[in-house]
Structure 1
Amino acid sequence: MDEPGWDVDPEDGIASAVEVVGQQLRFLRETAGFHVPEFAERIGYGEDLVRKIERGARIPRPEYLDKVDEVLRTGGLVTSMKPSMRRARYPRKVRELADLEARAVELSHYSNHNVHGLLQTEGHMRTLFGGWLPAYSSDDLERVVSARLARRVVFDRDPAPAISFIQEEATLRRPVGGTMVWRRQLERLLEIGQLRNVALQVLPTNCEEHPGTGGLIEVLKFPDGSAVGRSDGAFNGRPVSDPKQLRVLELRYGMIRAQALTPRESRGLIEQMLGEP
């Protein structure tokens, strides 16, 4: 059962935490009197993986930590490391985005190419990521899907942030993953759209005036009055926080939102799609 885990990016600031966990695992193994070959056999993983994890070159999976805890009988000490390692296994950019989403009190998202990541079902995600080129390895595919699923906690926050989604109609009509996956995705949109803190709107394809042709727009606002935004079609696609630049993004977003269907009309359109043969 030699599951590879995830390689550690030495440039990632969380690499030191992975190294500390590796050192702790090595100390516990040696204190219990196990050499690597015997220990690897007992936990059901390869010697190479054990060595890489203990020197901080690999991020241990939760299953690995569970098995180590069981064999070394640490009474939950090793399994208590799971939350920090779960966070470490997500790509750095995803962690940074999740941190911003966790702090934001208002989130505005316009998506013109795909259903927004926070709205995607797991089946939809797997289809999208599975079609990327060059192709993800099976392990990396699991990593990016897990990272995107983890960001859903934004919907469980209390107090809840105000979240606005605008989706191009075309993103909803594209049958990503086939009929069943597509239908479940539309149902997911209806579920999220019912949340009291969420406004989900659809921009019809037949809309003649379209200020969103530059690509996606995202604006996150924080309790202290600061904000950060990004758009494919502005400022070279880089995140911005300057008030003048943010006003440009907010102006475009506001115009798109004004031309989109209302949340009630959008729900009706999605229900109509589900009823189409």
Structure 2
Amino acid sequence: MPGPKDLDPSTSPRALLGAELRHAREKAGLSQEELGGRLFVSGSFIGQLESGTRRMQPEYARLLDDALGTEDFFRRNCAASAKSKHPQHFAEAAEAEAQATAIRQYAPLLIPGLLQTPAYARAVFRAYRPTGSKEKVDELVTARMERARILDDPTNPLLWVVLDEAALRRETGGRQVMAEALHHLIGIIRRSRAIVQVLPLKAGAHASMEGSIKLMDFKDAPPLLYFEGVGTGRLEDDPTTVRYQRHTYELLTAEALSPQKSLALIEAMAQDYAHEEYP
């Protein structure tokens, strides 16, 4: 009997690959936990591969072919699911973000990508790549703006951001770029597409002094946590770690200004930037 055909990269390859994995696992009579045990990963990890929440890496594709007797099907097709417009360390997180039903994020140093303007994003990428080509920076900006299209849906996902006041005070791209960025943020808030709370500098020490937090919830898969550093990033699904970081995020929301007071502060700062009166 002939094996399954190669997947068409133009038709959501990760979703198709996940569906093929579920079919092969069920045909082999294995639960997600049983298959995960053979790969030394959790059952939830297998579930995330099947739902397309996580990208299949070559090392897992090889193990899956061996465990499920699928010859080299997953090895041949995982390359199609790995194509991305995003930097390699962030690509898997961006793909998961697009499927999330809720995203909760603490941003300590900059306005999050989903809420950025093209000019602000360009200033950020140029700072990351001071000698990079204009074409490469333009490509990254375009990909970031495409990411933000998930906010075009009036109901999904829930986006809840705790934005450190330091991110608003850092003049990224200059005063006019900041004025535009904050007016854009105000528009998103007023359209009820995001809940934004500002963590004021006067709050002092807080629960996430050491870095950012991004928590993502899904309809048919366990939640994920994304850790990010300079040029690095990884997804984490360990329930204890996710639970701890969710508690940390809740502490941040308690310390932050209310959404109404946060909006008033952002509006005042946008006006100051626009009139070049910001101290």
CA RMSD of aligned residues (A): 2.5
Residue 266 (1) aligns with residue 243 (2): no
Residue 251 (1) aligns with residue 247 (2): yes
Q: How does 1:151-162 map to 2 (within 5 A)?
A: 151-157=147-153, 159-162=155-158
Q: How does 1:190-229 map to 2 (within 5 A)?
A: 190-224=186-220, 226-229=222-225
- Measure, in 2, the Cα distance between the counterparts of 1:106 and 1:271: 26
CA apart distance, 1:133 = 4.3
After superposition, what is the alpha-carbon deviation per residue over 1:182-225, rounded to whole angstroms, capped at 9, x for unaligned? 10011011011123242111000111241111111000000025
Contact residue 102 and residue 154 of structure 1 kept, 8 A: yes
Give percent identity, aligned residues only.
Answer: 30
CA apart distance, 1:231 = 3.4
- Measure, in 2, the Cα distance between the counterparts of 1:248 and 1:120: 28
3-state DSSP of counterpart to 1:206: helix
| Structure 2 residue aligned with 1:167 | 163
- Measure, in 2, the Cα distance between the counterparts of 1:140 and 1:237: 20
- Measure, in 1, the Cα distance between the counterparts of 2:234 and 2:93: 13
Q: How does 1:33-52 map to 2 (within 5 A)?
A: none
TM-score after normalising by structure 2: 0.63
After superposition, what is the alpha-carbon deviation per residue over 1:88-123, rounded to whole angstroms, capped at 9, x for unaligned? 554455543332122111100110011111111100
Residue 150 (1) aligns with residue 177 (2): no
| Structure 1 residue aligned with 2:70 | none
Structure 1 residues 140, 275: CA separation in 2 closer, same or farther (over 3 Å shift)? closer
After superposition, what is the alpha-carbon deviation per residue over 1:140-194, rounded to whole angstroms, capped at 9, x for unaligned? 1111111111101110136421110111101111121111111001101101112
- Measure, in 2, the Cα distance between the counterparts of 1:210 and 1:196: 27
Choose the corresponding residue for 1:96, options 88, 92, 105.
92
CA apart distance, 1:226 = 1.0
After superposition, what is the alpha-carbon deviation per residue over 1:50-105, rounded to whole angstroms, capped at 9, x for unaligned? xxxxxxxxxxxxxxxxxxxxxxxxxxxxxxxxxx9xx8554455543332122111
Runs of 4 or more, structure 1, over 4 Å off, are 87-95
After superposition, what is the alpha-carbon deviation per residue over 1:8-55, rounded to whole angstroms, capped at 9, x for unaligned? xxxxxxxx959xxxxxxxxxxxxxxxxxxxxxxxxxxxxxxxxxxxxx
Contact residue 160 and residue 194 of structure 2 kept, 8 A: yes
Amino acid at match of 1:148: R
Residue ranges of structure 1 left out of the alignment (5+ in a row): 1-15, 19-83
| Structure 1 residue aligned with 2:104 | 108
| Structure 1 residue aligned with 2:118 | 122
Contact residue 90 and residue 143 of structure 1 kept, 8 A: no
TM-score after normalising by structure 1: 0.63
Residue ranges of structure 2 left out of the alignment (5+ in a row): 1-7, 11-79
Amino acid at match of 1:220: M
- Measure, in 1, the Cα distance between the counterparts of 2:144 and 2:264: 28
Greater RCO, 1 or 2 (C-alpha within 8 Å, sep 6+): 2
Amino acid at match of 1:185: A
Contact residue 217 and residue 253 of structure 1 kept, 8 A: yes
